[in-house]
């Protein structure tokens, strides 16, 4: 492995989620920002959370004449 071409590795990279949760991990970037983490992901919480990007959910519901989710 050539040392001059490897990226710098940070063992204390800070990960910040959109829900406000933060934790540290190892990464080639010093700071990471994510949309969903284990504290707010539906698989881990058991609550369904729809992440709507660009109105896709509303478009799907309108196309198939489905009621709005509350």
Binding-site members for Zn(2+) are 17, 19, 37, 40
Q: Are 20 and 39 in contact (CB under 8 A)?
A: no
Could you list the residues known to form a binding site, using ranges: 17, 19, 37, 40
Report whether 4 contacts 19 (CB < 8 A): no
Q: What is the largest CA-CA distance in the chain?
A: 58
């Amino acid at each position: 492995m050539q040392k001059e071409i490897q990226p710098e590795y940070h063992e204390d990279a800070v990960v910040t989620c959109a829900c406000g949760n933060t934790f540290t991990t190892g990464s080639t970037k010093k700071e990471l920002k994510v949309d969903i983490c284990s504290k707010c992901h539906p698989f881990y919480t058991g609550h369904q959370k729809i992440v709507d990007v660009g109105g896709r959910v509303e478009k799907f519901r309108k196309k198939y004449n489905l009621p709005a989710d509350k």
